[in-house]
Amino acid sequence: MFLIVGLGNPEEKYQKTFHNMGFLAAGDAAALLGAKFKKKECEASVAEGYLGGEKVIVARPLTYMNASGRAVKQLMARYKLSPKELVVLYDDYDLPKGHVRIRASGGAGTHNGMRSVIAETGLTDFVRIRIGIRDEGVEIPIIHYVLSEVRKEDYDLFSAACQRAAEAAVALAKGERLDLVMNRYNG
Q: Which residues are catalytic?
A: 19
Query: Based on the number of CB atoms within 10 Å of its own CB, is 77 exposed (0-12), middle (13-18) or buried (19 or more)?
Result: exposed
Q: 174: which DSSP letter?
A: T
Distance CA 159, CA 91 (A): 12
Say which amino acid occupies 145: Y
C-alpha torsion angle, residues 167, 10, 86, 186 (rounded to 10): 40
CA nearest to 87, candidates 183, 165, 8: 165
